[in-house]
Amino acid sequence: MKLSQNIAPILDALDKYKKNRVVPFDVPGHKQGKGNLMLRDFLGERCLSVDVNSMKPLDNLCHPVSVIKDAEDLAAEAFGCDNAFFMVNGTTCSVQAMIMSVCKDGDKIIMPRNVHRSAINAVILTGAIPVYVSPGINSELGIPLGMSMRDLEQAILTNPEAKAVFVNNPTYYGICSDLKGIIELAHKHNMLVLADEAHGTHFYFGEGMPAAAMHLGADMSAVSVHKTGGSLTQSSLLLVNAKRVNPGHVRTTINLTQTTSGSYLLLASLDIARKNLAINGKDIFAKVLELSEYARQEVNSIGGYYAFSEELVNGDTVFAFDRTKLSMHTLSIGLAGIEVYDILRDEYSIQIEFGDIGNILAIISVGDTYFAIERLVASLTEIKRLRSKNRSGMFDHEYISPVVKHSPKAAFYAPKKRVAIADSKHEVSGEFVMCYPPGIPILAPGEMITEEAIEYIQYSKQKGCLLTGAEDMEMQFINVLDL
């Protein structure tokens, strides 16, 4: 019997469980909140009453045969693909499962260098060899763009044995590559296409959006439903088209790293979000787009800031632009993006998604209002009036071209020594260094440390970026290969 998008199987099963007044002699130990009153007071009795363990009426995430299977089938239908897997370890786990299910030790995978660290982590775990395609660069904004079709084709011809092409759709900044062209080119050369759509849930439901990977025939996609789709933080989907991929193998690969204690709060949130998107997604994202376009117009009217959009489209490295992204360049007012980020939070009680060296990103969702947009615009106006300065001496680009000396796996497990970052020029990094968010590595294991990378790290620290990835929490030292 065909299921209806108007139902939410996991939610219905949890409601039934609660109505049955089940006496729990299983985990979790808080026993529906009775064993931890402080937690119950904080999260609420209703929440804790359905924070439960797998059982027959509620199915099992590792081997779904009933309500979770139904919810996943509904998600696959809603997103327009063959299979959807509910993920509770975040889209990090989704990205890693994609790569781990198609690559083994020594296999090559073609990817842009401006991938999230989760993709390079997967390369370390599998022993795969990344073939990096340097993204295009916008010289005015200093941001990485998408992959050029010419560069990708050259990478494919040079590495015909590669198993897959990995692509961002979109990037953090809203940039989309020629996804249709990439898929056709990769499939022509018997390579799979894996899409990181962490910021692309809305592509599947909104009108006037860039194309969604599954709709164009990509083989797998990792989708952060919690980012723009309305589910709880850490919940995600791994989408599969089964023509070239075995979904059963994908599930067994997921189970290598995903928890066996899947949170029913996260699962139910995915189920509810899917229902809401399937029924209301078109209207939801029409409103989001309207708010975003209004915000972009208002920010650009301030002067000094540049909220960029589809004018960047060039048919290649910027094939499309996600207009729901309110990405804003800040260097013309003499402030780094991270400085504006900090001022907004500390002085105006406005929390945006991230600030990097030259840009900030505000996520606009259906939960926003025109009043909230006006408050953001007014705050940015005042920051410009009170804090703007000459931009001379500012670091003006985000992307550092890597010099790869060893595979990420070889470097991660190699003997290492600790050196001061200031003295590490021409050494080979044995660990990650990145600003978070967005979590795109400045250095990854196996890459030579250049003077430009050192300057970028020091400048980022000076401006207040959160630098992560290295063992040294103070980021004074870095582990380099001791070969």
In the Cβ-directed half-sphere of 175, how many Cα atoms lie within 13 Å?
A: 27
CB 22 within 8 A of CB 52: no
Report d(CA 251, CA 286) in Å as an integer.
Answer: 34
Do the strands 359-363 and 236-240 form a parallel or antiparallel pair, or are they unpaired?
unpaired
Is the CATH number 1.10.3720.10 carried by domain 408-481? no
pLDDT in tens, 354-403: 999 999 999 999 899 999 999 999 999 999 999 999 887 777 777 888 89
Q: Which of 141, 186, 146 is nearest to 170 (CA)?
A: 146
CB 284 within 8 A of CB 366: yes
Is the CATH number 2.60.40.1180 carried by domain 281-387? no
CB 99 within 8 A of CB 119: yes
Q: Crossing angle for the helix pair 67-79 and 9-19, nearest 10 degrees?
A: 150
Q: Tell me: cis bond preceding 415? Omega within 30 of 0 counts.
A: no
Confidence band of 139 (pLDDT split at 50, 70, 90): confident
What are the φ/ψ torsions at residue 146 (nearest 5 degrees)?
Answer: -95, -175
Say if residue 440's pLDDT is above 90: no
Q: What is the pLDDT of residue 91?
A: 97
Those residues with Cβ within 8 angstroms of residue 252's Cβ, 6 or more apart along the chain or in another chain: none
* Residues of the chain above pLDDT 90, percent: 89
Q: What is the DSSP letter of 172?
A: T
- Please give the span between the terminal C-alpha atoms of the chain, in angstroms, as a whole number: 62
Structure tokens that stand for 254 in this block? 């997921």
* Long-range residue pairs from 77-80, CB within 8 A, at least 24 positions apart, any chain: 77/3, 77/5, 78/5, 78/204, 78/274, 78/277, 78/278, 79/204, 79/212, 79/214, 79/223, 79/237, 79/239, 80/204, 80/212, 80/214, 80/215
Q: What is the DSSP letter of 33?
A: T
- Computed over every residue of the chain, the mean pLDDT equals 95
Report d(CA 20, CA 95) in Å as an integer.
Answer: 38
Q: What is the DSSP letter of 325?
A: E
Confidence band of 409 (pLDDT split at 50, 70, 90): very high
Say if residue 114's pLDDT is above 80: yes
Say if residue 328's pLDDT is above 90: yes
Q: Crossing angle for the helix pair 337-348 and 370-387, nearest 10 degrees?
A: 110
Please name the helix (run of DSSP H) or strand (run of DSSP E) that holds residue 383, with its range, or none: helix 370-387
User: Which CATH code is given to the segment(s) 9-277?
Assistant: 3.40.640.10
Report d(CA 435, CA 440) in Å as an integer.
Answer: 7
Helix (H/G/I), strand (E/B), else coil: 209: coil
Q: What is the pLDDT of residue 268?
A: 98
Confidence band of 47 (pLDDT split at 50, 70, 90): very high
Q: What is the pLDDT of residue 391?
A: 82
Q: Which of 437, 216, 198, 435 is nearest to 322 (CA)?
A: 198
Report d(CA 389, CA 69) in Å as an integer.
Answer: 57
CB atoms within 10 A of CB 80: 13
Q: Do domains 9-277 and 281-387 have the same CATH topology?
A: no
Domains of the chain, by residue range, sit at 9-277, 281-387, 408-481
